[in-house]
Amino acid sequence: MIFQMDMYMMIYLIIFLVIFICCCCNIIICVWVYKDAEKRNMNDPAIWLAVVLLGGCVGCIVYLIVRDPLPSSNQDQETSYHTPQSNDEPSFDIIYCPSCGAKLDSSVKFCGKCGNEIE
Ligand SMILES: [Zn+2]
């Protein structure tokens, strides 16, 4: 009888641990998806956060299929294209809005085009 009790305790403990680990993984994946969606300049990372949170693995797979490509290569092309023209412009650092890609003075706090806060 005591042995059986221990068995049940073990099973409950294992089930609890499995659920706990699943929740931790889910949270890590959600955070990763949110950061990834932000990095890819996607319009609504919060919606994708909800999709992965509610859809679990399926939501994560859907996100991986439909997510936008990384914007880095596109921005590099734009930067190299604009560099020769900026010689006769006043010498301030040119940055690009992480949200909409607009060309901005590095001294500004907010993007003039979309209102995104510049870090
Ligand atoms: Zn912007």
Query: What pLDDT was estimated at residue 51?
Result: 87
Determine the structural domain holding residue 103 and report its residue range: 71-119
Q: How far is the CA of 110 from the centre of ligand 1 (A)?
A: 8
Smallest Cα–Cα separation from 90: which of 106, 71, 78, 68?
A: 106
Provide the whole-model pTM: 0.45
Q: What is the pLDDT of residue 11?
A: 93
106 CA → ligand 1 middle, Å: 13
pLDDT of residue 84: 52
Whether residue 84 is found in the same domain as residue 103: yes
Which mean pLDDT values do the consecutive 10-residue runs of the chain (119 residues) have? 76 94 88 89 85 84 85 54 52 84 88 88
Distance 73 CA to ligand 1 centre (A): 18
Residues 60 and 14 in one domain: yes
Residues 36 and 87 in one domain: no
Which residue matches tokens 């990763």?
32
Q: What is the DSSP string of 40-94?
A: TT-S-HHHHHHHHHHHHHHHHHHHHHHPPPPSHHHHHHHHHHHGGGGGGS-S--E
Q: How many structural domains compose the chain?
A: 2
Same domain, 6 and 45: yes
In the reported structure, the alpha carbon of residue 21 is separated from the centroid of ligand 1 by a whole-number distance in angstroms of: 38
Helix axis angle, 2-39 to 45-66, nearest 10° = 90
